[in-house]
């Protein structure tokens, strides 16, 4: 039985841990949210979904990775701006044979992993699922598309393929169809484009994805964001991305699954009032565009607006502030 630590076990991290536990893994969830960890340790994780009855998944938990022992897999699921802190805290769990894996949103997470882990021990990928933390110890997880977990590796030799396929098999046995992909960059960029066009824009207009997507003005912004992102991806050598496929298949699939929910960045901005992952989404496109000599004015505008909000949570207008 493979030992697996999920570092960053909020909504999505807890859902991933549940699938791996059900698939035969020995999972420990690691997160500083004590009430959430305590509830799961005491009674198990309550896992809700759109098409199944709620189930309880028993897992171990910890507030940090200091004393959990060496793992076979360490899965990083914190927000991008917390990755270095998470990896620093997880060093004792990472041995010579440990594979470290990221399913985090956006672009640039692998480069951070490479600061701490040898390239031949890095797996990464993306998810076709939505999640909501309903209460401490209770999550909602919804799967969409034919493959729910895409897994790839930086180094593409037999050792990495075996490790990726083994992790994919556990996910699949647990109920989340997973595949090891040679061309993982296509899938990561495809998913990143969904987040680039939906997450910050919905945060700015304060609407759910389906609500915003019906507006012609919003659609024009999405169009420009996709055009800029595709230009950068092409210059980076990412193969397989296609304008028509994105709008006819990828985006509609995401809308069907998560269109009735506020995207994670909208939740960050509207409800939690905390830092966002903008630097790993639109901000990453701006950074790469500058390095490549490609203009990305709409992504830059979106990035600057989100950063302005982040810097002024305490000064914004809220109805409850009005006397």
Q: DSSP secondary structure string, 16-41?
A: HHHHHHHTT-EEEEE-S-HHHHHHHH
**Residue 72: what pLDDT?**
98
**On the CB side of 112, how many CA atoms lie within 13 Å of its CA?**
22
Tell me whether residue 305 is exposed, middle or buried, using C-beta atoms within 10 angstroms of its C-beta: 0 to 12, 13 to 18, 19 or more: middle
**Residue 46: what pLDDT?**
98
d(CA 8, CA 29): 8
User: CA-CA distances (angstroms) from residue 210 to 198, 267, 299?
Assistant: 10, 15, 21
107 touches 184 (CB < 8 A) = no
pLDDT confidence of 258, banded at 50, 70, 90?
A: low
**Residue 257: what pLDDT?**
60
Question: Looking at the predicted structure, is the pLDDT value of residue 243 above 90?
Answer: no
- The answer to whether domain 185-315 has CATH 1.10.1040.10 is yes
Report residue 199 as tokens: 């997450």
42 touches 109 (CB < 8 A) = no
d(CA 12, CA 29): 11
CB proximity list for 173: less than 8 A, separation 6 or greater: 22, 23, 24
Least confident of 118-127, 128-137, 274-283: 128-137
Question: Looking at the predicted structure, is the pLDDT value of residue 321 above 60?
Answer: no
**Residue 102: what pLDDT?**
98
d(CA 20, CA 186): 24
Local structure of residue 278 (DSSP, 8 states): G
Q: In the chain, what are the domain boundaries? A: 3-182, 185-315
Q: What is the pLDDT of residues 27-55, one digit of tens each?
A: 999 999 999 999 999 999 999 988 889 99
Pick the CATH number of 3-182 from 2.130.10.10, 3.40.50.720, 3.30.70.120, 3.40.1190.20: 3.40.50.720
Rounded (10°) CA dihedral 239, 240, 246, 249: -150
Q: What is the pLDDT of residues 54-104, one digit of tens each?
A: 999 999 999 999 999 999 999 999 999 999 999 999 999 999 999 999 999
**Max CA distance (Å), the chain:** 65
d(CA 35, CA 18): 18
């Amino acid at each position: 039985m493979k030992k697996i630590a999920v570092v960053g076990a909020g909504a999505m991290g807890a859902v991933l841990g549940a699938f791996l536990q059900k698939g035969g893994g020995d999972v420990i969830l690691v997160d500083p949210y004590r009430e959430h960890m305590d509830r799961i340790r005491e009674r198990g994780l309550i896992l809700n979904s759109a098409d199944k009855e709620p189930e309880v998944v028993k897992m171990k938990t910890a507030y940090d990775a200091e004393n959990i022992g060496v793992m076979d897999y360490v899965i990083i699921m914190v927000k991008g701006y917390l990755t270095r802190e998470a990896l620093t805290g997880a060093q004792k769990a990472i041995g010579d044979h440990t594979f470290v894996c990221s399913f985090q949103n956006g672009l640039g997470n692998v480069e951070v992993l490479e600061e701490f882990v040898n390239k031949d021990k890095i797996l990464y990928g993306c998810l076709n699922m939505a999640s909501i933390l309903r209460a401490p110890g209770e999550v909602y997880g919804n799967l969409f598309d034919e493959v729910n977990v895409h897994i790839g590796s930086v180094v593409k030799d037999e050792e990495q393929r075996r490790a990726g396929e083994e992790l994919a098999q556990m996910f699949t046995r647990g109920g989340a169809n997973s595949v090891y992909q040679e061309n993982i960059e296509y899938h990561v960029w495809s998913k990143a484009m969904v987040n680039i066009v939906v997450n910050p824009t919905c945060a700015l207009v304060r609407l759910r994805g389906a609500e915003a997507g019906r507006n012609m003005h919003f659609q024009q912004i999405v169009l420009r964001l996709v055009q800029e992102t595709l230009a950068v991806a092409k210059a980076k050598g990412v193969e397989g991305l296609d304008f028509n496929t994105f709008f006819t298949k990828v985006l509609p699939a995401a809308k069907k699954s998560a269109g009735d929910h506020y995207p994670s960045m909208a939740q960050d901005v509207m409800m939690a009032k905390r830092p966002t992952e903008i630097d790993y989404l639109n901000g990453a496109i701006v950074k790469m565009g500058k390095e490549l000599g490609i203009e990305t004015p709409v992504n830059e505008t979106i990035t600057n607006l989100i950063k302005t909000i982040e810097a002024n949570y305490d000064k914004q207008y809220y109805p409850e502030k009005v006397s």
